[in-house]
Amino acid sequence: MALAREVYQAFEDIVGNRNISEDIGVCETYRSIPSQTSAHYGPSKEWTPLPQAVILPGSTEEVQNIVKICNKYGIEFKAGSTFWATMAYIGGDNAVQLDMRRMKSIEIDAKNMAAVVEPFAIAGTIQAEAMKVGLNVQIPGVGCSSSTLASSSGWAGFGPASIFMGANPENLLGAEWVLPNGEILRTGSLGSGDGWFCGEGPGPSTRGILRGIFGPAGSMGVCTKIATRLHPWPGPKQFRTYGKAPAYKADFGDNFKCYTLCYPDWESWARSVQYFHESDVLYIGHRQFNMFGRNLKAFMLNIITDPEKQLSDLPELLKDPEIQKHNDNMKHDYQVVIAGMTKRDMEYKEKAIDYILEQTGGWKHEMMLEKEKHDYALAYMTRLGHKNLNYVMCGAYEGTFGLSGNVWKTIQVVEEASAQKRKWETEHTCIAATGGDSAMGGVSSLGGGGATGWEFFTNFDSYELESVQGTSDMVDENQAFHNKYAFGPDFCRWNSDVRHVNGYSYTQEEHDEMFAKAPQPWIYAYQYKIREAVNPNHLCGSYLRTLSPGKLEGK
């Protein structure tokens, strides 16, 4: 169903004819295939619905005018900034897709340690601009091609550097929102005309409503600008690298070290994490390369750090007993980066690491101390520019299980989860057999330390239906495990209550049915009221979980 001519014309009048398209070929490229990108309701082979038009606004004013037209004619809309994530795509037939790509400005406020950024400012460019003045930005685990505005205002935002820099929900200082009804809301100090320096005021703080912990995923209108907190960067003003593509390596100087720390068992692993939470030593902490799986990680590290090697070298490398030894030595591991603000600070941090290792029986992984591997890992962890390696093995992966919470809780179940995944690796062929344990995630997903957030990298082939379906079946089985330990939905199905597997939004009736039975239904009823206040025409899909208050009666 094409847009009525007057509607299309109204949009075109706002953005100009170069910035709108209803060509079917163009619109087709704004559909997501959940088997290929983080969707959290998959894996599935179904594409999200086709937008009626794609619109590229260039300013807040244009966004506001587009939203007003949408309200006038009852057209759904959704904003996406980079479209890494399936959440960014529309979920209905009568909808237009907003691609925020034209808005990408970055202003660094070095004095207030903040960056004011637009939607298509990716973390990599913000980091590059911030480093020029000795500052850094928190890059979520998805990598530096993600939109910092999206991870601050839209969805998730936790990363390896969160232990030092906090997560992006925490880093959000202020935002400019075009609400779904077309009104503009400016939060925090910005809302009182005092600039971008504080998210909580003077001025309205809507952190709990518009952002929350996971974010509204585009269901609360369009965010056009945010300020994010920046953090100290004691390194060079440019992200200095050496080496050949694809294995670029960091050349930051002596006040940076990247270690792979290993422990004899999970108990000592957890103790070390706890010590790090208490000691303020880490710049970055993440169990990163275990994403390649317990059986393959050292071998994969030998591939990705060497520009001459490729996946096809894996069978040959697997015969190398030296690498096998290294692999065996990194079973309970994580990567850390320390950054010395001064020489003494660096010495202190080195000593603190040694002390923690001594207390826990841990060690620095030898292979990862080799200069080239060290420098590669340092570049990797600092910029997160190689994050698409997530997909390198098969073309698709899903994070399964999703063990988020206290480390002591996580380590009690990690082996059981690994065994369950291993069973699927050996009894079925749908997923890559990487060794059961492929748990990857932060040493802390909160500033200063606290909860971890782990997912098991489950690699499958998005091209093969059997592989996609098999992975989905595996996730169904994982859910029983999750229910047993009260971990909530499997990571891979976090969004299964906000979008159908076929990519379409839920109706209010469907949500009512789901959430009336939820343990705390009034939360959804509260969200319903918020939505009614700012989105009376229900134009931004069903990522906001709502329950009609009438359905609460009697509870």
Partner 1 sequence: MALQDLRPMMERCSSCSGCKFIPFEKIQSVRFAENCPSIGYYNFHTYAARGRFQLSQSVLDGRTELTETVTEAIHSCTSCGLCDVTCKITRYNLEPLAHNLEQKAYAVEKGAVLPAQKTIMETLAKENSMIPGTKKKNRTDWAKDLNLKDLFKEKGEIAFFAGCKYSYDEKLQKTAQDAVRILQHAGVDLGYLGAADNCCTGRAKQMGYFKEFDKGANTNIKAFEKAGVKTIVTPCSDCYNSFKRQYAELGMEVEVLHVVEYIERLILEGKIKFSKSVPMTVTYHDPCHLGRQGEKFEAWEGIDKKIFNQIHIYEPRKPRYNGIDGVYDAPRNILKAIPGVNLVEMERIREYSWCCGAGGGCSQTLPEYSAWTAGERIAEANSTGADALVTACPWCKDNFTDAEDEDGNKMEVLDIIDLVHKAI
Ligand X SMILES: Cc1cc2nc3c(=O)[nH]c(=O)nc-3n(C[C@H](O)[C@H](O)[C@H](O)COP(=O)(O)OP(=O)(O)OC[C@H]3O[C@@H](n4cnc5c(N)ncnc54)[C@H](O)[C@@H]3O)c2cc1C
Whose Cβ is closer to ligand X: residue 151's or residue 327's?
Answer: 151
φ and ψ at 32, to 5 degrees?
-110, 145
Interaction residues for partner 1, span 169-188 (CB under 8 A): none
CB 318 within 8 A of CB 477: no
**Rounded CA gap, 109 and 93, in Å?**
42
If one asks whether residue 401 binds ligand X (CB under 6 A), the answer comes out as: no
Rounded distance, CA 223 to CA 149, Å? 8
396 touching ligand X, by CB under 6 A? no
Binding mask of the shown chain, residues 345 to 384, with x at each position contacting ligand X by CB under 6 A = ----------------------------------------
* Site for partner 1 contains 29 (CB under 8 A): yes
**Interaction of residue 317 with partner 1, rule CB under 8 A:** no
The total number of residues shown for the chain amounts to 555
Residue 323 interacts with which of partner 1, ligand X, none, CB < 5 to 8 Å by class: none
223 forms part of the interface with ligand X (CB under 6 A): yes
Q: Pick one of partner 1, ligand X, none as the site partner of residue 79 (Cβ within 5 to 8 A by kind).
A: ligand X
Question: Which region among 138-146, 180-188, 319-327, 481-489 touches ligand X (by CB under 6 A)?
Answer: 138-146
Reported as type and span, the H/E element at residue 262 is strand 256-263
* Contact between 100 and partner 1 per CB under 8 A: no
State the nearest-atom distance from the C-beta of 216 to ligand X, in Å.
7
209-214: list long-range contacts, CB under 8 Å, 24+ apart: 209/530, 210/153, 210/175, 210/177, 210/185, 211/152, 211/153, 211/169, 211/172, 211/175, 212/169, 213/169, 214/155, 214/156
Q: Does residue 467 touch partner 1 according to CB under 8 A?
A: yes
Amino acid at 152: S
Q: Rounded to whole angstroms, how far apart are CA atoms 418 and 505?
A: 33
Between 357 and 389, name the residue whose CB sits nearer to ligand X: 389
55 touching ligand X, by CB under 6 A? no
**HSE-up of 236 (CA within 13 Å, CB side)?**
10
Cβ 494 to partner 1, closest distance in Å? Answer: 18
Q: Which stretch binds ligand X (CB under 6 A): 185-193, 218-226, 242-250, 353-361?
A: 218-226
Residue 147 φ/ψ, nearest 5 degrees: -80, 125
Helix residue ranges per DSSP H, 280-406? 297-304, 314-317, 321-328, 343-360, 371-383
- Cβ-contact 248, 241 below 8 angstroms: yes
Q: What is the x/- site pattern for partner 1, positions 116-135, by CB under 8 A?
A: -----xx-xxxxxx------
Query: Which residues ranging from 32 to 51 are in contact with ligand X (CB under 6 A)?
Result: 37-38
- Cβ at position 88, least distance to ligand X in Å: 4
The CB-nearest residue to ligand X is: 141
Binding site partner of 14, from partner 1, ligand X, none, Cβ cut-off 5-8 A by kind: none
- 538 contact, one of partner 1, ligand X, none, CB 5-8 Å limit per kind: none
239 binds partner 1 (CB under 8 A): yes
Taking the C-alpha atoms of residue 550 and residue 533, their distance in angstroms, rounded to an integer, is 17
Chosen residue from 390, 410, 471, 535 binding ligand X by CB under 6 A? 390
Across-strand partners of 54?
Answer: 21, 97
| Tokens 């010495």 -> residue | 347
Q: What is the DSSP letter of 504?
A: P
CB-CB neighbours of 421 under 10 Å? 28
91 binds, among ligand X, partner 1, none (CB under 5 to 8 A by kind): none
**HSE-CB of 42 using CA atoms within 13 angstroms:** 30
Cα angle at 433 between 482 and 388, to 5 degrees?
85
- Of 195-203, 225-233, 243-251, 474-482, the segment contacting partner 1 by CB under 8 A is 243-251
Question: Considering only residues 153, 471, 527, 542, which one is a binding residue for ligand X as defined by CB under 6 A?
Answer: 153
Q: How far is the CB of 450 from ligand X (least distance, A)?
A: 15
Q: What is the DSSP letter of 151?
A: I
Structure tokens at 157: 């935002």
Task: For residue 161, state whether it binds partner 1 (rule: CB under 8 A).
Answer: no
Binding segment (CB under 6 A) for ligand X, from list 83-91, 230-238, 252-260, 425-433: 83-91
Task: Considering the complex, state which of residue 248 and residue 457 has its C-beta at the smaller distance from ligand X.
Answer: 457
Q: Which of 48, 52, 97, 147 binds ligand X (CB under 6 A)?
A: 147
429 binds, among partner 1, ligand X, none (CB under 5 to 8 A by kind): partner 1
Q: Report whether 353 contacts 261 (CB < 8 A).
A: yes
Nearer to partner 1, 4 or 465 (CB): 465
Q: Is residue 17 within the footprint of partner 1 (CB under 8 A)?
A: no
Residue closer to ligand X by CB (options 80, 182) is: 80
